Amino acid sequence: MRIAFVSLGCDKNLVDSEVMLGLLQKSGFALISDESQAEVIVVNTCCFIQDAKEESIENILEMAQYKKTGNCKALIVTGCMAERYKDEILAEIPEVDGVVGTTGYESIVEVVEEILKGKKIQKFSDINTTIREDYQRVLSTAGYFAYLKIAEGCDNKCTYCIIPQLRGKYRSRSIESLISEAKTLVSQGVRELILVAQDTTRYGIDLYGEKRLPQLLRELCKIEELKWIRLLYCYPEEITDELIDVIAEEEKVCSYLDMPIQHANTAILKRMGRRSTKEELIHLINKLRNRIPDVCLRTTLIVGFPGETDEEYEDLVQFVTDMKFDRLGVFTYSKEEGTAAAKLKGQIPKKIKELRKDKIMKLQQAICEEKSAQFVGKTLEVIIDGKLLEENEYCGRTYRDAPEIDGMVFVHTDEELLSGDFIKASITSANEYDLVGRIVDESGE
């Protein structure tokens, strides 16, 4: 029986897809990438913002067509949108045969088998259920990097966010299980591990009574064949001096920190339910740069939050101008039903939100160009992602670049390189996001 997956949304959702793939493969299903040939199609959905919901719906409807034009006998919807709209999906899209919630994915094999017997299935569990830690994943990323989900759920009370209602309270995995999984991944060829959770910096607080991310990182650094460890989703309120020390001291931990601050105006931050002030953010950023001089700071912002005045927005613009983040993304506020922010007065028109987003992105483009230019003439370590169609040209990433969201390095060399190779590259030119270089040997030639 052939099965295909469409995994949408964040990399945390991707890990869930990989767990389901592992369970299905273990039960004898053949995993394929061509949905038109699949007898079972699973769409693992996202609904964090309106755009994500629309993408999920479009993909479900597209896959539903294979009930008529392909070989599909079972169409299953899983993930956040399934959790949020469990009844609506089955009622409004009759081609869907099964709906599985965010903690029901461990039953994916049972769900598929029941559907193939002609049943319509809904599978939902307590969203606060304990995380099982003994699954074998099938990696859908390139084999040399993988995401390691260290916790599920979220205890933050951000007023714009629906995730706690869909993913439950914060639940950490044990250090032992994470080290075991990491060793398995590395034995399969993984050289770069990317740690993810809704809030990675709170890791361990529920399980051990204290934050244990620094200890986890030090244990991961002991895995011999592991080259890079990258941190995503680090909330600024939880970044401790101990964590900063680990990043500064451990060679395998990339000097890269993804730190979603969402805004910088203190009044807006308070209405968002965030626990930082503008002054605290500035202090933290300066501390990070002083303690880790080569740190690459990435952040995300939300513009057009309800009631955001011109003055509050310009405060954010000035903050971006002053702080000069290495990487920065901007979302327009999405009014999500069931969140506290959806009830706030002062909802801002879409056109104004888009204009505010565009202004900051244009500003950030100039900052990125300035930052990239600083690397011309320097030699950087690069992990090779693949070969381009052009002869002797490869694309890769530095420690400053997370897969799929940051820039690339284009390397020209006559040597034959493989994906996952680490090389030294002398940077010869740059634009706002990407670098171009040539390979050099260990002596710098």
The predicted-structure confidence for 101-123, as pLDDT tens digits, reads as follows 999 888 999 999 999 999 999 99
Cβ atoms of residues 104 and 122 within 8 Å: no
Residue 309 has pLDDT above 60, yes or no: yes
CA distance 129 to 357: 38
Query: What's the chain's average pLDDT?
Result: 94
Q: What is the pLDDT of residues 328-367, one digit of tens each?
A: 999 999 999 999 999 999 999 999 999 999 999 999 999 9
What DSSP letter does each residue of 244-273 carry, written as one string?
HHHHHH-TTEEEEEE---B---HHHHHHHT
- Tokens read off for 408: 């690339």
Residue 392, classified by CB atoms within 10 Å of its CB into exposed (0-12), middle (13-18) or buried (19+), is middle
Residue 379, pLDDT score: 95
| Ramachandran assignment for 377, one of left (phi > 0), alpha (psi -120 to 50 degrees), beta (any other) | left
Q: At 444, is the pLDDT very low, low, confident or very high (cuts 50, 70, 90)? A: very low
Binding residues: 10, 46, 80, 154, 158, 161
Instruction: Provide the annotated binding site for [4Fe-4S] cluster.
Output: 10, 46, 80, 154, 158, 161
What does pTM read for this prediction?
A: 0.94
Which residue did the predictor score with more confidence, 222 or 135? Answer: 222
Say if residues 37 and 72 touch (Cβ distance below 8 Å). Answer: no
pLDDT in tens, 225-259: 999 999 999 999 999 999 999 999 999 999 999 99
* pLDDT tier, 206 (very low <50, low <70, confident <90, very high otherwise): very high
Confidence of residue 412 (pLDDT cuts 50, 70, 90): confident
